[in-house]
Structure 1
């Protein structure tokens, strides 16, 4: 059984994330069911009919991702990841606000097109739920931020015991923590952009559709490789990682520019252009920060950090229940020092 620190603030953070996910996904499910039941399906349904299913899929994935990372951050007492999750929740709030405007436009389009593809105007039915979703996210973001502040104080002492009082080593350790957390958030925003692009914009017979699908597993492998190369301090592999990240920046810049300049696909982009733009911009910012952090991690190679970030399992059950990942007992056994 994986160990989770049993403190009030730890459980409070986990419960807030879980309750938020249940409420938001319940509201999204109602909007999805109402929207789908109102559509008159035909052989040539426009991209507007795929808007709601895409948003629902993304919210489901986002909240599964959120719960998984909350548990992971609390289990490893990763303060940086806890703070990152509060920012991530704020990004979901922005996405929910964009979603409301784009669903309204999709509903109006389906009513206005000839012949109409919607049975009736459902905006009055779904608007209260679309307003409630960002309100729930805003409240939970505030609550999570308050609890994160308490957890910061709670985790600070264990981090001090893990790394000792060496300020330079603590800075190297912090840089590594930030890099690993950034890789996880890079994954979500890349996948979020790709899902929307595949479902709403591209057609299944388009060569770009197949190429984009192939890129998804390659991206997962790449991000895992980046984390492994940093943990093992492999300079040549990290150099390749930084070069590939620069290529990723070029890819997202190309997509961003094409969304506003490709007149042939303008009608396909419109139903999700604001959402795609927000994902592309956030991903570009994340990649920029990730590159800077990756280079900083490379500069910290061979300076004594590697033993502190090499994962090892507990040798027996007594240690498993008697030590946290960063406990004093763990500190006395250098091979046990672990960080995600």
Structure 2
């Protein structure tokens, strides 16, 4: 796949790659140091599972962010680039939450004699440095996103021309597709933590939670497919499933603070709350955008977002979500009406 090679795109790639490399190095050290210091029957304690789960999830977050950076630059999707800046701030907040949660886990393990509390002093400088790196990365990414917005705006104008209504429809589509990509990470993050830390593997809830992962992936894939194909029936089904997901996360959020269930979530409640709240907000935004996208069906947007793969010079000349040959849908008009 072709990525536009300009000063600002390369700068964005370098900043996110360096940030991810540093964070991954520090997180890997903390992970290894913690595992080496565990002793006794720590493997059966919830606290011993929280730290590896946090660290692994955080590492996956930065790797997934790099994938989305490549995807956003390839498609010249300014909405997704802005979303990545917001996501990076979310990772910054999670890094701060993670530090306090790890300290509490080490304290609990120290009380049972399963770890030496001195390991916290060794890990603390690295855990403090990680949010600092992420904060600097967020500032740099925000500046570069502003530059990329100006750079990619001309590409969108050339393909959508001056039709303001079509621009708004395309903007809604871009926001919706970007939301689906972030929905995947936060839903997966919550589910993985729930499976590893809380759920009893002998219960039916464990099997249902595991089954929810592939089902969710299929829903998100079909959501994007139905939007591109402008299938109203398909979108109605997907929106109903979104409401089911919203009810699920609201139920989990209330449950983890209920007196009779609070002890099961206590070891990672801050992290669960962070992921649950973010996911609920994302689902609400996704539902709103899905409804607006469905309302925009059959109004001329489909040719702009349905494209075939091209190779060679054609791919380099048209490597955006708006590009490509329109096939059976016909060519996109070069001039459109201004509102």
- TM-score higher than 0.5 here? yes
TM-score, normalised with respect to structure 1: 0.93
Partner of 1:167: 164
Partner of 1:134: 131
**Contact 2:179–2:282 (8 Å) recurs in 1:** yes
Partner of 1:223: 220
Partner of 1:208: 205
The residue correspondences of 1:210-289 to structure 2 (distance < 5 A) are 210-263=207-260, 265-289=261-285
- Label 1:79 to 1:331 Cα distance change in 2 as closer, same or farther (>3 A): farther
The residue correspondences of 1:138-149 to structure 2 (distance < 5 A) are 138-149=135-146
Runs of 4 or more, structure 1, over 2 Å off, are: 265-268, 320-327, 329-337
Q: Distance in 1 between matches of 2:102 and 2:42?
A: 22
Q: Shift of residue 20 of structure 1?
A: 0.6
309, 313, 318: which one aligns with 1:318 = 313
- Label 1:296 to 1:125 Cα distance change in 2 as closer, same or farther (>3 A): same
**Contact 1:226–1:238 (8 Å) recurs in 2:** yes
Q: Shift of residue 17 of structure 1?
A: 0.8
Q: Shift of residue 188 of structure 1?
A: 0.5
Q: Shift of residue 34 of structure 1?
A: 1.2
Number of residue-to-residue matches in the alignment? 331
Which blocks of at least 5 consecutive residues in structure 2 are unaligned?
A: 333-339
Partner of 1:58: 57
Which blocks of at least 5 consecutive residues in structure 1 are unaligned?
A: none
Q: Shift of residue 56 of structure 1?
A: 1.7
The residue correspondences of 1:1-340 to structure 2 (distance < 5 A) are 2-42=1-41, 45-113=44-112, 116-263=113-260, 265-314=261-310, 316-325=311-320
Q: Shift of residue 44 of structure 1?
A: 6.3
- Label 1:299 to 1:110 Cα distance change in 2 as closer, same or farther (>3 A): same
Q: Distance in 1 between matches of 2:40 and 2:307?
A: 52
- Label 1:19 to 1:77 Cα distance change in 2 as closer, same or farther (>3 A): same
Q: Distance in 2 between matches of 1:75 and 1:24?
A: 24
**Contact 2:307–2:325 (8 Å) recurs in 1:** no
CA deviation vs aligned residue, 1:257-299 (integer Å, no higher than 9, x gap): 1101152x43331111000001000000000011010000011
**Contact 1:162–1:326 (8 Å) recurs in 2:** no
Q: CA RMSD in A?
A: 1.9
- Label 1:41 to 1:211 Cα distance change in 2 as closer, same or farther (>3 A): farther
Q: Distance in 2 between matches of 1:129 and 1:335?
A: 56
- Label 1:209 to 1:335 Cα distance change in 2 as closer, same or farther (>3 A): farther
**Contact 1:161–1:326 (8 Å) recurs in 2:** no
SS in 1 for 2:297: coil
CA deviation vs aligned residue, 1:229-256 (integer Å, no higher than 9, x gap): 1111100110111111111110000000
Q: Distance in 2 between matches of 1:44 and 1:19?
A: 34
Q: Shift of residue 202 of structure 1?
A: 1.2
